Amino acid sequence: MARLFILGAGTPTPTPTRFGSAYVLEIEGEKIMFDCGPATTHKLVKAGLWPTDIDYIFFTHHHFDHDIDYPCFLLTRFDQ
């Protein structure tokens, strides 16, 4: 069964409940992350996932609200 984690589905301007784009789709044990917007790494951990759990990442496009947390995400994968 597939599971979808919605980590952020907002706009470039954050609100208390919405951030930039970030989703994780889990299918047959593999986790695919779509986009890596603001605070994605923090929201991954808050959802019970770790950056090292992510098997693939896909960027829908390269606007900052879709990829600004990518450096943080990469660094935390190596600092485990």
DSSP letter assigned to residue 61: -
- Please classify residue 5 by burial: count the beta carbons closer than 10 Å to its beta carbon, then call 0-12 exposed, 13-18 middle and 19+ buried: middle
Active site residues: 65
Q: What's the rounded Cα separation, in Å, for the pair 75 and 31?
A: 18
